[in-house]
Structure 1
Amino acid sequence: MRRQFAPNTLQITLLLAGIVGLLGALATVAFREALSGLQFLLAGHRSGMVELAQNYDWWQRLLLPTAGGLVAGLILQYATLWVPKKGAEDYMEAIAIGTGVLSLRQTLVKSLSSLCSVASGASIGREGPMVQLAAMFASLVGRILAFPPERLRLLVACGATAGITSAYNAPIAGALFISEIVYGSISTATLGPLVVASVIANIVIRQFLGYEAVYQMPRFDFVSGWEVFFYVGLGVLAGVLAPLFLRLLDTAKARFGALPVPLFLRLALGGLIVGVLSLQVPQVWGNGYSVVNSILHTHWAWQALAMVLAFKVLATASSAGSGAVGGVFTPTLFVGAALGSLYGLAMNAVAPATASVASSYAVVGMGAFLAATTYAPLMSILMIFEMTLSYQVVLPLMLACVTAYLTAHTIRADSVYAKSLRRNRVAGRWLSMTGEGSEMRLSSLAVDNDAVVSAADSSDAIGERFVSTGYRNLVVRAEDGRLLGTLDAASWWQRQATGKPELWTQVVTAYKALDGDMALVSALRAVGKMHADWVPVTGVGGQWLGVVSLPGLIEIVTEERGAE
Structure 2
Amino acid sequence: MPTKPSIHKLRMRLAQSEALPQLTLIALFTGLLSGGFLAVFEQMLYLAGAFSQRSLIPEQIFSTVVSVESGYESLSPLIRFFAPVAGAVLLSLLIKLCPRDQRSFGIAHVIERLTLNRGWLPIRNTIIQFFGAFIALISGFSVGREGPAVHIGAGVGSYLGQILRLPANTLGVLAGCGAAAAIAALFNTPMAGVIFAMEVVMKEYTLESFIPIMASAVMASVVTQTVYGSTTAFQIPVIPLASIEELLLTVITALIIGLLAALFIRVNLFAIKKKQKRLTIPLLCAGLLMGIMGVLIPATMGVGYDTIQSLLHGETFTISFLVILLLAKLVITAVVVGLGVPGGVIGPSLMMGATTGACMTMIASQFFNISTAQITFHTVTGMIAMMAAVLQAPLAALVTVLEMTQSSEIILPAMLSIVIACLTSSQLCGQQGIFAMQFQVKGLNIRVSPMAQLLNRVGVASLMVDNRSSDVLSNPPAHSIDIQSTAHEALKMMDDYKVNQLLVIKQKAENKTKPCGVITRTSIRQLL
TM range (shorter): 0.7 to 0.9
Q: Please give the secondary structure, in 2, of the residue aligned with 1:357.
A: helix
For 2:113, the equivalent position in structure 1 comes to: 94
Give runs of aligned pairs for residues 490-505 of structure 1, distance below 5 A: none
The Cα offsets for residues 485-514 of structure 1, whole Å up to 9 and x where unpaired, read as xxxxxxxxxxxxxxxxxxxxxxxxxxxxxx
* 1:36, distance to aligned residue in structure 2 (A): 2.4
Which of 171, 176, 179 does residue 190 from structure 2 map onto?
171
For 2:432, the equivalent position in structure 1 comes to: 414
Give runs of aligned pairs for residues 234-313 of structure 1, distance below 5 A: 234-257=253-276, 263-297=279-313, 298-313=315-330
How far apart are the structure 2 equivalents of 1:125 and 1:353?
33
For 1:322, the equivalent position in structure 2 comes to: 339
Give runs of aligned pairs for residues 423-438 of structure 1, distance below 5 A: 425=443
How far apart are the structure 2 equivalents of 1:539 and 1:412?
36
Give runs of aligned pairs for residues 385-404 of structure 1, distance below 5 A: 385-404=402-421
Tell me, yes or no, if structure 1 residue 15 matches structure 2 residue 25: yes
How far apart are the structure 1 equivalents of 2:189 and 2:148?
18
CA, structure 1 residues 315+547, in 2 after alignment: closer, same or farther (shift >3 Å)? Answer: farther
How far apart are the structure 2 equivalents of 1:543 and 1:215?
57
Per mean C-alpha deviation after superposition, the further-off stretch among 83-92 and 384-393 is 83-92
Structure 2: give runs of 5+ residues left out of the alignment.
Answer: 1-8, 464-476, 482-486, 505-528
Q: Does the CA contact (< 8 Å) of 1:92 and 1:420 recur in 2? A: no
TM-score (norm 1): 0.72
Q: Does the CA contact (< 8 Å) of 2:111 and 2:202 recur in 1? A: no
Which of 366, 375, 396 does residue 392 from structure 2 map onto?
375
* 1:20, distance to aligned residue in structure 2 (A): 0.6
* 1:420, distance to aligned residue in structure 2 (A): 6.2
Q: Please give the secondary structure, in 2, of the residue aligned with 1:102.
A: coil
How far apart are the structure 1 equivalents of 2:177 and 2:149?
14
* 1:257, distance to aligned residue in structure 2 (A): 4.1
TM-score (norm 2): 0.76
How far apart are the structure 1 equivalents of 2:134 and 2:311?
26
Q: Does the CA contact (< 8 Å) of 2:153 and 2:182 recur in 1? A: yes
The Cα offsets for residues 342-378 of structure 1, whole Å up to 9 and x where unpaired, read as 1122233354457752221110001111111111101
* 1:59, distance to aligned residue in structure 2 (A): 1.4
* 1:227, distance to aligned residue in structure 2 (A): 3.2
How far apart are the structure 1 equivalents of 2:78 and 2:105?
42
How far apart are the structure 1 equivalents of 2:244 and 2:38?
41
CA, structure 1 residues 112+399, in 2 after alignment: closer, same or farther (shift >3 Å)? Answer: same
The Cα offsets for residues 122-181 of structure 1, whole Å up to 9 and x where unpaired, read as 110122222212211211211122211111110111011101111122111111111112
CA, structure 1 residues 159+208, in 2 after alignment: closer, same or farther (shift >3 Å)? Answer: same
Q: Please give the secondary structure, in 1, of the residue aligned with 2:434.
A: coil
Q: Does the CA contact (< 8 Å) of 1:128 and 1:327 recur in 2? A: yes
Q: Please give the secondary structure, in 2, of the residue aligned with 1:142.
A: helix
For 1:144, the equivalent position in structure 2 comes to: 163
Q: Does the CA contact (< 8 Å) of 1:65 and 1:272 recur in 2? A: yes
Q: Please give the secondary structure, in 2, of the residue aligned with 1:323.
A: coil
* 1:424, distance to aligned residue in structure 2 (A): 7.5
How far apart are the structure 2 equivalents of 1:539 and 1:346?
62
Which of 134, 141, 146 does residue 153 from structure 2 map onto?
134
For 1:38, the equivalent position in structure 2 comes to: 48
How far apart are the structure 2 equivalents of 1:306 and 1:226?
23
Tell me, yes or no, if structure 1 residue 190 matches structure 2 residue 209: yes
Amino acid at match of 2:271: A
Amino acid at match of 1:62: F
Q: Please give the secondary structure, in 2, of the residue aligned with 1:121.
A: coil
Tell me, yes or no, if structure 1 residue 336 matches structure 2 residue 353: yes
How far apart are the structure 1 equivalents of 2:155 and 2:260?
34
The Cα offsets for residues 23-54 of structure 1, whole Å up to 9 and x where unpaired, read as 11011111112222233444547863663532
CA RMSD of aligned residues (A): 3.9
For 1:107, the equivalent position in structure 2 comes to: 126
Per mean C-alpha deviation after superposition, the further-off stretch among 416-425 and 187-196 is 416-425
CA, structure 1 residues 309+112, in 2 after alignment: closer, same or farther (shift >3 Å)? Answer: same
Amino acid at match of 2:424: T
How far apart are the structure 1 equivalents of 2:37 and 2:279?
27
Amino acid at match of 2:384: G
For 1:60, the equivalent position in structure 2 comes to: 79
Q: How many residues align?
A: 453
* 1:314, distance to aligned residue in structure 2 (A): 2.7
Structure 1: give runs of 5+ residues left out of the alignment.
Answer: 429-450, 453-464, 477-515, 521-530, 549-564
How far apart are the structure 2 equivalents of 1:346 and 1:427?
43
How far apart are the structure 2 equivalents of 1:226 and 1:82?
54
Per mean C-alpha deviation after superposition, the further-off stretch among 202-211 and 323-332 is 202-211
The Cα offsets for residues 261-282 of structure 1, whole Å up to 9 and x where unpaired, read as x623432221221121122321
How far apart are the structure 2 equivalents of 1:427 and 1:138?
24
CA, structure 1 residues 180+81, in 2 after alignment: closer, same or farther (shift >3 Å)? Answer: closer
How far apart are the structure 2 equivalents of 1:375 and 1:357?
26
How far apart are the structure 2 equivalents of 1:293 and 1:533?
48
Amino acid at match of 1:403: I
Amino acid at match of 1:48: T
For 2:98, the equivalent position in structure 1 comes to: 80
CA, structure 1 residues 337+277, in 2 after alignment: closer, same or farther (shift >3 Å)? Answer: same
Q: Please give the secondary structure, in 1, of the residue aligned with 2:205.
A: coil
Q: Please give the secondary structure, in 2, of the residue aligned with 1:90.
A: helix
* 1:185, distance to aligned residue in structure 2 (A): 3.3
CA, structure 1 residues 222+192, in 2 after alignment: closer, same or farther (shift >3 Å)? Answer: same
How far apart are the structure 2 equivalents of 1:394 and 1:316?
29
CA, structure 1 residues 538+97, in 2 after alignment: closer, same or farther (shift >3 Å)? Answer: closer
How far apart are the structure 2 equivalents of 1:471 and 1:398?
37
Q: Please give the secondary structure, in 1, of the residue aligned with 2:204.
A: coil
* 1:398, distance to aligned residue in structure 2 (A): 0.5
The Cα offsets for residues 375-407 of structure 1, whole Å up to 9 and x where unpaired, read as 110111111111111111111000110111122
For 1:207, the equivalent position in structure 2 comes to: 226
How far apart are the structure 1 equivalents of 2:46 and 2:495?
60
Q: Does the CA contact (< 8 Å) of 2:71 and 2:299 recur in 1? A: no
CA, structure 1 residues 309+134, in 2 after alignment: closer, same or farther (shift >3 Å)? Answer: same
CA, structure 1 residues 63+397, in 2 after alignment: closer, same or farther (shift >3 Å)? Answer: same
For 2:4, the equivalent position in structure 1 comes to: none
* 1:302, distance to aligned residue in structure 2 (A): 1.1
CA, structure 1 residues 420+534, in 2 after alignment: closer, same or farther (shift >3 Å)? Answer: farther
